[in-house]
């Protein structure tokens, strides 16, 4: 596993909390309205909120680029824009002690692009969709990418970048793999050298099943994260996770496209710190 991510997950008091930065729509996408520097200004303001609340990590994602396209159709303007923004965020945190873990996800399933962004900007990990088995996503058919992705990581010398793999990706039909249990998929992702696993609900903002977390943790040696639907009201149900990825709950009205609410972030972190004790 990538050294910095591995060390944090091995030594930190669990659960870690990763806050989401949902970038405003990037150039070339239907909802694009803001100049790139304004998109970064908003991202920096959100990063400062997370820093002040002592969130353990941040994941940058092009959430506003709806409707998403498959990885082969993600243009170079998206990769370039995210590289510029992530580089500036890295330098914002470069001298922080401790520096939060930094991750990136490029929708939809553009995992090689995310790996390139992370490697060139000093980020610690990516969140990868469609790591093992075929998914029927709302963007279309998404095939497994583990073999190509890990070969690409080796080719560009990005072994220091961890890969957190979603299992039974949200916003998907899983009828093709209906004969596979969540444990089967988790074991396949571990066998295919993922650095961590992400358990989610069926869609953004919808909670995972706590029983899914328990069963995956009991059958895998990898760190297991919860990737959707965690709130201040249900966080106790997911306290055994190695990390919690929180986006929608931190926003106004609990919607992913709301403004980030500093009070909600601080209250959530206070709750998690109490659980850790």
Which is nearest to 15 in space by CA: 277, 272, 274?
Answer: 272
Question: Domains, the chain, ranges and CATH?
Answer: 3-276 (3.20.20.70)
Of all residues in the chain, what percent carry a pLDDT higher than 70?
100
Gyration radius of the chain's alpha carbons: 17
Alpha-carbon distance 119 to 83, whole Å? 10
What is the mean predicted confidence (pLDDT) over 210-215? Answer: 96
Place of tokens 């009205």: 253
For 3, other C-beta atoms within 10 Å of its C-beta total: 11
Alpha-carbon distance 193 to 33, whole Å? 39
Is residue 170 predicted with pLDDT exceeding 80? no
Q: Which two tokens stand for residue 122?
A: 């000093």
Which residues lie below 8 Å from residue 66, measured CB to CB, with a gap of 6+? 25, 29, 30, 31
Is residue 152 predicted with pLDDT exceeding 90? yes
Place of tokens 């469609």: 130
What is the mean predicted confidence (pLDDT) over 46-58? Answer: 97
More confident position, 253 or 83:
83
Minimum mean pLDDT range among 12-21, 68-77, 197-206, 245-254 = 197-206
Chain centroid to Cα 48, Å, comes to: 18
Q: Give residue 108's pLDDT band: very low, low, confident or very high (50, 70, 90).
A: very high
For 97, other C-beta atoms within 10 Å of its C-beta total: 5
Cis peptide before 98 (omega within 30 of 0): yes
What is the mean predicted confidence (pLDDT) over 44-69? Answer: 97
Q: Give residue 149's pLDDT band: very low, low, confident or very high (50, 70, 90).
A: very high
């Amino acid at each position: 596993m990538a050294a910095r991510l591995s060390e944090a997950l091995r030594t930190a008091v669990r659960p870690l909390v990763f806050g989401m930065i949902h970038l405003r729509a990037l150039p070339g996408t239907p909802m694009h309205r803001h100049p790139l520097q304004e998109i970064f200004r908003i991202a920096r303001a959100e990063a400062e909120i997370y820093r002040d609340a002592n969130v353990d990590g941040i994941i940058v994602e092009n959430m506003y680029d709806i409707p998403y396209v498959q990885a082969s159709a993600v243009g170079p303007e998206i990769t370039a824009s995210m590289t510029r923004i992530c580089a500036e965020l890295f330098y914002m945190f470069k001298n922080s002690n401790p520096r939060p873990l930094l991750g990136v996800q490029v929708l939809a399933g553009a995992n090689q692009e995310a790996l390139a962004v992370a490697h060139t900007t000093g980020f610690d990990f990516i969140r990868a969709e469609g790591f093992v088995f075929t998914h029927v996503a709302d963007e279309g058919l998404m095939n497994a990418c583990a073999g190509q992705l890990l070969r690409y990581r080796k080719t560009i010398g990005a072994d220091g970048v961890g890969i957190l793999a979603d299992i039974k990706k949200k916003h998907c039909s899983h009828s093709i793999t209906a004969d596979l249990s969540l444990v089967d998929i988790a074991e396949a992702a571990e066998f295919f050298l993922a650095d961590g696993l992400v358990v989610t609900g069926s869609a953004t903002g919808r909670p995972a099943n706590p029983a899914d977390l328990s069963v995956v943790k009991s059958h895998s040696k990898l760190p297991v994260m919860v990737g959707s639907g965690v709130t201040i009201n249900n966080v106790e149900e997911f306290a055994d996770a190695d990390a919690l990825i929180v986006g929608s709950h931190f926003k106004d009205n609990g919607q992913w496209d709301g403004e980030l609410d500093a009070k909600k972030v601080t209250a959530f972190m206070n709750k998690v710190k109490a659980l850790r004790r």
